[in-house]
Structure 1
Amino acid sequence: MDLNDPHAMTSPHQFTPTMHRDVYAAISPKNPDLNAAGKNVLITGATRGIGKAIALSWAEAGASGIVITGRAKDLLAQVSDEIKKIAPKAKVLALSSEAASEEDAKQLWAKVKAEIGIIDILIANAGVFSENSAGFPVTGKMDPSQWWSDMEINIRGPYIQIYNFLQQYLAEGKEPEGTIVVLSSAAAAMVGPGSSAYTISKLVGLRLAQNLHAEHPKVRTFAVHPGIVPTNMQVGPWAKQTIDTAEMSGGLSLYLSTPRADYLRGGYVSVSWDVEEMEKLADEIKSKRLLDLAFLNAKLGPKGYEPGSFA
């Protein structure tokens, strides 16, 4: 792989001929088809980078209520101020919270219920990739407590938020609805030394979206690859690859919250894929489950593996 080529890590994972590395008209917050008036959204990990960009995108699209969470209170306040400048009429709630804390989430959602009401869209963005800053330690060299901490934040964290999102309805004896977007990664499809906690946890995000789709048919669920964004998670070797804008995740989340994206429900989607080109393949995507997580490359069945066949 030529790491001097800015598309070297993105082009092998393209589903559509057109590759995007920045916001385009179909997913722009300025697109009237993506107007978010009357919608309440909650974004976790919104103090910087992708989470912040998502929050600002929803503000630009006119969301009625925007809840942002994170650990740094000062950064939460700054993002909150930026949101209010863009959308002065929006109800904004900035709440400090530890991603994997059930108690924090319980208090957070109680306050949201009291001050905002029902959350229509949950974007589970908070996550970590501590292996990169540790020099990519292979299995056996990373302290077990740190390895498990990453798994807790990247798996337990989203589940806690999803649980509380669903409880808005289940606690009232109602069938859950709305939209859930889980920030995953193309790394879920990769196996490389020194990234087991990250790749495994992001793979779980894909399967979680599929399970939610199967269990709660009125809830629109998606697993999203946010691209290779220049955030504090990236490292030197990928410098020339990190050209995807964080705003693409914001625009795509707006698109996914509309019925237009129903053909993608329960599946995986990358910000670099062109949504209008995917729409032309909507029937095939749904009928063949093209964007669902598979198990083995071999096609299995009562007669066993047939040489030359693929799942």
Structure 2
Amino acid sequence: MSPSPQWEFPGYTKLIHRSTYPAISSSNPANSAAGKVVVVTGGGTAIGRGIAHSFVTAGARIIAIIGRRTNILASTKADLEAASAGKTHILTYAVDILDEAALNAAFADIAKIAGSGIDVCVANAGLAVNQHSLAGKVDAWWQGFEVNVKGSFITFRAFAATKAKEDPIFISVNTGAAHLGSFPNLSSYTASKMALAHLLPSLQVENPEIRTVAFHPGVIESDMNAGSGITLSLDDVSLPADFALWLASDKAAWTKGKFLWAHWDVEELEGLRGEIEEKGELAMGLKGLPRQVEVEVRV
């Protein structure tokens, strides 16, 4: 679907993208994934499928896609194999990310087949619960936290146990809704995604050898987006697909521990790097704090 020219959200860079462009493109040699072993959860449809395709186009050695539906995984595998012309080994695992034992076994199997550690893990699987806070069952509302927070945490641990020795990268697909404010009937989704956004910097601090980064993929046509109950103009799936690829490149190494949006122009971001690092920007926090005031402390 062609992206709409409408822009609903505030930007960070002056230039805003709705589809891929040369700096992040999978055909750009600077974004090569040659020789890499990549895992994508929620890899059978929409954003996950697009991300897997970008890594295939960029020359990844092995792509493993994890999802719950065998038929969807089989269809995506066939498409990826056709796109790679046999150059990339495509693996599929029908596993729920909440099944810790099964997910650990899948990651271990991928590493065994690869004969090396896993270079990149894109944690894309998620759940948008569309439920009023006083309607339905608590367990149904809480499922957002189970999938988005616990599931991502299980995924991180499975990756940490099978990661590559050099520059392992964990990319968390989040949402701008985690920090933009409140939306009706999406309290489970926004709160769980905010919790996930706060979890990632802690994982970065506790595991400095793993580069962790979160990003908002834009608004992509998908079953999850359709179920959110909110209508926004759509972006092209090529944008988050190639943005994830760029995040895994050497040029994006400085983004570790940050939260970015796929819409933002990466060349502008690179130019702003010094200011971002000096001010500690693109990190979760409390608006207005610190405030430039003269503080009086009383004991």
Task: Give TM-score, length-normalised by structure 2.
Answer: 0.90
Displacement of 1:80 in angstroms is 0.9
Aligned residue number for residue 101 of structure 1: 99
Aligned residue number for residue 76 of structure 1: 73
Is residue 2:191 matched to residue 1:200? Answer: yes
Displacement of 1:192 in angstroms is 2.3
In structure 1, runs of 5+ residues without a counterpart are 132-136, 306-311
Equivalent AA in structure 2 for residue 96 of structure 1 = A
Q: Deviations over 1:206-234 (max 9, x none)?
A: 11221122122222111110101111123
Aligned residue number for residue 294 of structure 1: 285
Could you say if the C-alpha distance between residues 71 and 237 of structure 1 is closer, same or farther in structure 2, counting changes exceeding 3 Å?
closer
Q: Deviations over 1:92-140 (max 9, x none)?
A: 1101001211122122122112212311000000011131xxxxx3212
Q: CA RMSD in A?
A: 2.2
Q: For 1:247 and 1:42, how far apart are their aligned partners in 2? A: 18
Could you say if the C-alpha distance between residues 89 and 110 of structure 1 is closer, same or farther in structure 2, counting changes exceeding 3 Å?
same
Aligned residue number for residue 141 of structure 1: 135
Is residue 2:172 matched to residue 1:185? Answer: no
Displacement of 1:302 in angstroms is 9.4
Aligned residue number for residue 148 of structure 2: 154
Which of 33, 58, 62 lines up with 1:36 in the alignment? 33
Aligned residue number for residue 251 of structure 1: 242
Is residue 2:40 matched to residue 1:46? Answer: no
8 A Cα contact 1:50 1:246, kept in partner: yes
Identity of aligned residues (%): 29
Q: For 2:230 and 2:34, how far apart are their aligned partners in 1? A: 38
8 A Cα contact 1:40 1:119, kept in partner: yes
In structure 2, runs of 5+ residues without a counterpart are none
Displacement of 1:185 in angstroms is 0.3
Aligned residue number for residue 167 of structure 1: 161
Aligned residue number for residue 261 of structure 2: 270
Could you say if the C-alpha distance between residues 262 and 302 of structure 1 is closer, same or farther in structure 2, counting changes exceeding 3 Å?
farther
Is residue 2:92 matched to residue 1:120? Answer: no
Displacement of 1:168 in angstroms is 2.4
8 A Cα contact 1:138 1:193, kept in partner: yes
Equivalent AA in structure 1 for residue 211 of structure 2 = R
8 A Cα contact 1:176 1:216, kept in partner: no
For this pair of structures, how many residues does the alignment match? 289
8 A Cα contact 2:6 2:233, kept in partner: no
Task: Give TM-score, length-normalised by structure 1.
Answer: 0.87
Q: Deviations over 1:138-166 (max 9, x none)?
A: 21213111111121011111111100111
